[in-house]
Structure 1
Amino acid sequence: MVEGESQPRKDAQPAAQERSAAGLGGYSARILVAEEEALEAYRSACQGAVFAPPQSPLWARAWLRGQGRNGLIALIQRRGAPALALALEVVAIGPLRIARFAGGRHANGNFPAVNPNAFADGADQAAAVRALIGALQSGRPEIDMLAFERQREAFQQCANPLLAFPHSASPNLSLAVDLSEGFDKLLRDKRRRRRRQLRQMEAAGGYRRLTAASKEEVEEVLELLFAWKSVRLNRMGVHDIFGSDQVRASFRRLFVSALEEPQPSFFLHALEVGGKIRAITCSSRTAESIICEISTFCEDELAYASPGDFLFYENIAEAAAEGLAFYDFGVGDELYKRLWCDVETRHADVFIGLTPLGRAAAQANFAVAGVKRAIKQNPTLAKLARRARQMSAKSQAQEN
């Protein structure tokens, strides 16, 4: 299926700057087009709230800027006080209009902006979600389905209200390194490899780890990342999710804007060897962890020395020195992550149909997610799926 900009259907009502609906249990919801006033309202709602990096005000502004009516801010209150807030984008996939977390497939480890006080007395979390659904059905009837994927069950000791609705385990695991016992314990079986890599880096001209600290440096590092990802994903037979101008512009806005923060919540590291950048990580920060959102490396004459793994070592060492509890490799079960990780987390998916078409699609999405999960948990099936993608990519390349 191909994603595209959502266009109004014939049955859609005219766009409104703001839609609201009253809910049960003292909840009310407003749906705002993600223009400046709405983004400021979202920033205000996030003050004192718990939220994961992909639902932060900085992320919302980076991804929803210029989206027009396809960018939404949902504000749910309980008895007049902020309870829950979400930054959403509306996309068209075939005949469906789907509202999902801003950033789409780039948003991982999701957790909406939740005010813990709003639910401290055991309030009905499902009622908050029903108020959201009611406001969307009233104000944006063209939206068929809500797709809230790759969600954390809890974050900073706060439960996820969206999981009060039926949900299933996401197909992909999330992997992390437990730093609670210090960095030295992690090195017990890695010191020999580290010494070998150091010799290789020195022989290639020496190394240094860089942090992109200016707009120009951010753009330089991201251009390399986009180019390397394009080559690798196309060879694997996987759609290049970094290929669109909108995605690239959003990432540029995100990392450039973060430079203005006293301690950037999103940042770029690069490993330079012999005067050339060889590996890159794009990361976010929480109160207890660093999350590697994206990583890549240059497939050149030094690739044999694993510059990506070398950069992970530097990043993890820094996180441990800061006293953080985890270095999070994010979603995806890969061998290079397994070399470090000892913590597995299974995220959750929620699909809620808002129209007859959307309800059918929600059931289909739950079924497809189950099939993907079964394949990924079976090494033989997973290997066959990867081989099929690679053969398809090779065949397409030959045809072109």
Structure 2
Amino acid sequence: MQTQTRDIADMTAEAADERIVSIGMEPAPSVHLQVDIFDSTAPLEAEWRALEQDHLNSLHQSYDWCAAWAENLKRPLAIVRGSIGNHVAFILPLEIIRSHGIRRAEFIGGHHNNINTGLFSARFLVNGPLTPVQVNAISAALGGKVDVAILRNIPLEWRGRPSPLASLTTIENQNRAFQLPFLGSFEASLKQVNAKRRRKKFKHQSRLLDAKGGYEYLIAGPDQQDALLDLFFRQKATRFKDAGLPDAFKDARIKAALHAMLHRHQDDSIGATLQMHALRLKGEHEGHIPAIAALSRKGDHVICQFASIDEAVVADASPGELLFWLMIERLHREGVALFDFGIGDQTYKRSWCPMETVQHDLFLPVSGVGRLAAMASRSMTRTKVAIKSNRKLYSLIQRLRARHVAGAPADDRGDAD
């Protein structure tokens, strides 16, 4: 294990160094923030798990989530720990990605994370956003390891809590997250999204499936989860192929990381790093599974990490929609306050969600080339935001991209955002 340490008291004399972000300085506070960089997760486990007990610190920065990705993707790590005396103020779990000669530090899990917050202690949060001196201390500690830190998909305010990272350079991410808040009763919750229409659709779906022998809602047990996840990979690969899009789960390391998460559960008995849910048919199509979803839960917040459908049979019953109804109805009874459909603007999400959360990408240049990379990344994000705000243009680009991807070698296929 290697660490790199910088004390905030050493920083004011180095404000002109190219590795330090260009923001105004302020006098050093009476207490010193020490910043350490770790290249493995294990030395931080106890402190990490203590910070993640705060339910507003994202599940995607939890120890189990990050360890599963780190152990399987095996990217170099640059985990930032900030301490004041014996008090751990924050942990930012970052991995290093090398691309086009640039070393980027991003949150572990990257494009598979739906919301990022970092991990901050309650004592540190009362001080508000990171100060310029604190930002400079982080930048200097990362010096020599990375060129730029790009922290994606961060809401500047999450469930009433401002992000301490909001003082970094920010730009709105091209994707928003969509949520359904749970109100006092299930009926009141449904009224946010047209309860009458929702109930009518649910009854219609149930009648169609009952006519073919019925169905059951399955929450996979320990001996079922891996098989159900493998079925999801097959279903999703078919959907991606039919749409002419690259398979986001094709990499065996990604599959291994998600399998590992199935067997990591939080100590509070209601939390789950990843849990498989499905709709299973009876009767005429006995055992067939037309819809699958993977949920994560932390406290009263549930995230649908991914979902798939198989339209080979009962497509007219909209099995994916039916599965969401069954999951949402059950979770409302179990005391969940927020059902999160995750990032990405899709019609089925808008039909369920009266709430959307704007997320931002945050930038911390560490070197001269990192400054240029940050500028290029911000420019690209602005372009994506402009394209996605123009539905006709976005639709055209999607069609063109589908044609390109369908004819491209697998190794040439980019991501789908």
Q: TM-score, normalised by structure 1?
A: 0.88
The aligned residue for residue 201 of structure 2 is 193
Equivalent pair of 1:21/1:131 in contact (CA under 8 Å): yes
The aligned residue for residue 309 of structure 2 is 297
Distance 1:227 1:271, change over 3 A: same
- 1:163-178 equivalent positions in 2, closer than 5 A: 163-178=166-181
1:150 corresponds, among 145, 150, 153, to: 153
The aligned residue for residue 210 of structure 1 is 218
Q: Write out per-residue CA displacement over residues 56-112 of structure 1, whole angstroms, 9 at most, x where no aligned residue.
A: 111122111256661332211124311110211111222222111111100121111
The aligned residue for residue 12 of structure 1 is none
Unaligned segments of structure 1, at least 5 residues? 1-15
The aligned residue for residue 6 of structure 2 is 21
Answering whether residue 156 of structure 2 is matched by residue 159 of structure 1, we say no
Answering whether residue 220 of structure 2 is matched by residue 230 of structure 1, we say no
Structure 2 Cα separation of the partners of residues 50 and 176 of structure 1: 15
Structure 2 Cα separation of the partners of residues 47 and 301 of structure 1: 43
Q: Write out per-residue CA displacement over residues 245-290 of structure 1, whole angstroms, 9 at most, x where no aligned residue.
A: 1111111111211287622323221111131221111112233322
- 1:17-56 equivalent positions in 2, closer than 5 A: 17-23=2-8, 24-25=28-29, 26-47=32-53, 50-56=56-62
Structure 2 Cα separation of the partners of residues 31 and 176 of structure 1: 34
The aligned residue for residue 277 of structure 2 is 269
Answering whether residue 227 of structure 2 is matched by residue 220 of structure 1, we say yes
Structure 1 Cα separation of the partners of residues 63 and 296 of structure 2: 13
Equivalent pair of 1:282/1:292 in contact (CA under 8 Å): yes
Amino acid at match of 1:158: R
Equivalent pair of 2:116/2:153 in contact (CA under 8 Å): yes
Give the CA deviation at 1:315.
Answer: 1.1
Q: Write out per-residue CA displacement over residues 20-64 of structure 1, whole angstroms, 9 at most, x where no aligned residue.
A: 111254211111111422344433444558410100111122111
Distance 1:99 1:250, change over 3 A: same
Helix, strand or coil at the partner of 1:276: coil
The aligned residue for residue 13 of structure 2 is none
Structure 2 Cα separation of the partners of residues 261 and 272 of structure 1: 29
Equivalent pair of 2:215/2:280 in contact (CA under 8 Å): yes
Amino acid at match of 2:245: V
Amino acid at match of 1:238: L
Answering whether residue 357 of structure 2 is matched by residue 345 of structure 1, we say yes
Distance 1:69 1:198, change over 3 A: closer
Structure 1 Cα separation of the partners of residues 181 and 56 of structure 2: 22
The aligned residue for residue 262 of structure 2 is 255
The aligned residue for residue 338 of structure 2 is 326
Amino acid at match of 1:150: N
The aligned residue for residue 123 of structure 2 is 117
Q: Write out per-residue CA displacement over residues 209-230 of structure 1, whole angstroms, 9 at most, x where no aligned residue.
A: 111220x312111101111222
Helix, strand or coil at the partner of 2:169: coil
Structure 1 Cα separation of the partners of residues 130 and 255 of structure 2: 39
Amino acid at match of 1:160: S
Bigger mean CA deviation after superposition, 105-114 or 177-186 = 177-186
The aligned residue for residue 140 of structure 2 is 134
Amino acid at match of 1:218: Q
Structure 1 Cα separation of the partners of residues 75 and 394 of structure 2: 39
Structure 1 Cα separation of the partners of residues 112 and 319 of structure 2: 24
Structure 1 Cα separation of the partners of residues 335 and 135 of structure 2: 36
Distance 1:237 1:97, change over 3 A: farther
1:286 corresponds, among 298, 301, 306, to: 298
Bigger mean CA deviation after superposition, 69-78 or 269-278 = 69-78
Give the CA deviation at 1:309.
Answer: 0.5
Amino acid at match of 1:368: M
Structure 2 Cα separation of the partners of residues 49 and 203 of structure 1: 43
Structure 1 Cα separation of the partners of residues 297 and 357 of structure 2: 18
Distance 1:307 1:145, change over 3 A: same
Structure 2 Cα separation of the partners of residues 340 and 50 of structure 1: 23
Structure 1 Cα separation of the partners of residues 328 and 269 of structure 2: 21
The aligned residue for residue 403 of structure 2 is 391
The aligned residue for residue 16 of structure 2 is none
Equivalent pair of 1:234/1:393 in contact (CA under 8 Å): no
Structure 1 Cα separation of the partners of residues 400 and 308 of structure 2: 23
Give the CA deviation at 1:361.
Answer: 1.0
Structure 2 Cα separation of the partners of residues 121 and 33 of structure 1: 28
Distance 1:78 1:48, change over 3 A: farther
Answering whether residue 90 of structure 2 is matched by residue 105 of structure 1, we say no
Structure 2 Cα separation of the partners of residues 68 and 297 of structure 1: 31
Helix, strand or coil at the partner of 1:380: helix
Distance 1:380 1:337, change over 3 A: same
